[in-house]
């Protein structure tokens, strides 16, 4: 009987904590399954999954601790993870308020072009130029996203439709007019043969921390953004209002929360974070806005937010993980596996996370059935 009571206590504890535990387990299970599925696909091509993943690991972290701490390889993972963290936080904030901001890519582009323009025009000191650029990016990209929120609130237009449209408006506005027209590099340097905008001034650059790595101040900005979102969501009245609105807007409205204002502010923050991500790429790695610039980090932010369970810390870990996967995937090319294979791993993980309702259902039922069975047995005895 003591054994049965002990088991029953464990199951009762499981049922009280299953929501938190499943939220933690589902992303991990999804990533593991994604790597297993990818291994099967690698094997089907006649390559060794073990050799492929060994090269992926070495490409991401280096082949020794000395290489890891030199940041020669690991720096690239941290850099990519930083950009993904910002777009992931962007989508996560919108998700928390109950909106699907699929327009992070457009907001990313708007932030990138603003950073490219001001980075070229300003030429004071990094302590002045970079903060001014980021403030301008936050305003422009934030308002660009808030416009979709405003249409949702005032006209009832679904944010998925408007943000998709705003994505393409941003792409064509920037690539088909600004970059090839008024802000083309050849207007300032006729001898230039590269497409895109002029390069930003040195005072506006996010310079690499060490020689031999591209890792720069983007990681500091990403960490500050994580801290900001964490405090916002867990320690402020606005964060409580955002989460209450996302869970049940009608109940939030009846409790006195101005849900329209809350949605508008959340979308502004969401767009601002995506814009800062674009600014980090321009000021950090690109140096200017290229003729064609569609890295897809805005869309990747959806995956990072889902796997991170829309939490600041979770999004940071998921973004860094896939940042290292992307950085290390280049190494797999040594055995003939293209680096875009990392996208397959990310896609499969997203598929399983998107189906987390079914996984959680199975996890929940395991506990419920065993508790019922134990209660029935104890009742009979």
Return all residues near 130 (Cβ < 8 A) that are at least 6 apart.
204, 206, 217, 283
Task: Give the mean model confidence (pLDDT) for residues 83-92.
Answer: 97
Q: Residue 326 and residue 347: Cα distance in Å, rounded?
A: 13
Q: Which two tokens stand for residue 282?
A: 């321009």
Q: Would you call 94 exposed, middle or buried from its count of C-beta atoms within 10 A (0-12, 13-18, 19+)?
A: buried
Beta strands in 119-208 (DSSP E): none
Q: Please give the distance of CA 271 from its chain centroid, rounded to a whole number.
A: 12
DSSP conformation class of 288 = S
User: Are the C-beta atoms of residues 24 and 335 closer than 8 Å to each other?
Assistant: no
Kindly report the number of other CB atoms within 10 A of residue 54's CB atom.
15
Helices 312-329 and 74-96 cross at an angle (nearest 10°) of 140
Checking if the pLDDT of 191 tops 90, the result is no
Checking if the pLDDT of 110 tops 60, the result is yes
Q: Any idea of the CA torsion for 26, 31, 32, 37, to the nearest 10 degrees? A: 120
Return all residues near 228 (Cβ < 8 A) that are at least 6 apart.
none
**What pLDDT is recorded for position 22?**
66
Q: Residue 162 and residue 156: Cα distance in Å, rounded?
A: 11
Q: Which of 81-90, 167-176, 275-284, 364-373 has the lowest mean pLDDT?
A: 364-373
How high does pLDDT run on average in the chain? Answer: 86
User: Are the C-beta atoms of residues 97 and 258 closer than 8 Å to each other?
Assistant: no
**What pLDDT is recorded for position 153?**
94
Task: Give the mean model confidence (pLDDT) for residues 30-53.
Answer: 88
Checking if the pLDDT of 205 tops 80, the result is yes
Return all residues near 122 (Cβ < 8 A) that are at least 6 apart.
128, 129, 132, 133, 201, 203, 204
What pTM was estimated for this model as a whole? 0.87
Q: How far apart are the first and last CA of the chain?
A: 9
**What pLDDT is recorded for position 371?**
45
**What pLDDT is recorded for position 375?**
46
Return all residues near 241 (Cβ < 8 A) that are at least 6 apart.
252, 257, 258, 262
CA distances from 286 to 176, 187, 293 (A): 19, 20, 10
Beta strands in 205-274 (DSSP E): none
Q: How confident is the model at residue 259 (pLDDT cuts 50, 70, 90)?
A: very high
Tens of pLDDT along 217-234?
Answer: 999 999 999 999 999 999
Q: Which two tokens stand for residue 187?
A: 């207007």
Checking if the pLDDT of 363 tops 60, the result is no
Checking if the pLDDT of 272 tops 80, the result is yes
The single residue listed with the structure tokens 């979709």 is: 148
Checking if the pLDDT of 262 tops 70, the result is yes
Residue 136's SS3 state is helix
């Amino acid at each position: 009987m003591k054994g049965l009571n002990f088991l029953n206590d464990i199951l009762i504890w499981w049922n009280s904590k299953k929501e938190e535990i499943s939220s933690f387990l589902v992303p991990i299970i999804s990533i593991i399954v994604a790597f297993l599925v990818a291994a099967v696909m690698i094997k089907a091509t006649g390559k060794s999954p073990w050799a492929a993943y060994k090269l992926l690991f070495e490409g991401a972290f280096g082949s020794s601790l000395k290489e890891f701490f030199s940041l020669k390889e690991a720096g690239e993972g941290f850099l990519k993870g930083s950009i993904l963290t910002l777009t992931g936080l962007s989508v996560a904030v919108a998700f928390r308020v109950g909106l699907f901001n699929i327009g992070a890519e457009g907001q990313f582009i708007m932030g990138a072009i603003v950073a490219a323009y001001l980075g070229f025009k300003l030429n004071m000191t990094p302590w002045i130029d970079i903060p001014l650029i980021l403030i301008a990016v936050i305003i422009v990209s934030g308002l660009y996203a808030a416009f979709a929120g405003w249409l949702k609130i005032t006209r009832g237009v679904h944010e998925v439709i408007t943000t998709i449209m705003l994505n393409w408006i941003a792409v064509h506005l920037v690539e088909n007019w600004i970059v090839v027209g008024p802000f083309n590099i050849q207007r300032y340097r006729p001898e230039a043969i590269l497409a895109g905008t002029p390069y930003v001034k040195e005072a506006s650059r996010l310079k690499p921390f060490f020689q031999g790595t591209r890792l720069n101040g983007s990681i500091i900005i990403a960490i500050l953004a994580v801290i900001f979102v964490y405090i916002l969501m867990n320690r402020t009245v606005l964060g409580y209002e955002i989460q209450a609105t996302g869970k049940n807007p009608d109940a939030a409205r009846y409790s006195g929360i101005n849900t329209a204002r809350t949605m508008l502010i959340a979308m502004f923050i969401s767009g601002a974070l995506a814009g800062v991500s674009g600014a980090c790429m321009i000021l950090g790695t690109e140096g200017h806005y290229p003729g064609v610039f569609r890295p897809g980090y805005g869309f990747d932010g959806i995956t990072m937010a889902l796997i991170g369970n829309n939490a600041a810390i979770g999004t940071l870990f998921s973004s860094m993980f896939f940042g290292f996967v992307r950085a290390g995937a280049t190494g797999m090319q040594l055995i003939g596996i293209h680096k875009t294979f990392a996208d397959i791993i990310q896609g499969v993980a997203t598929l399983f996370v998107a189906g987390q309702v079914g996984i959680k259902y199975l996890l929940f039922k395991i506990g419920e059935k065993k508790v019922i069975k134990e209660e029935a047995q104890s009742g009979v005895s």
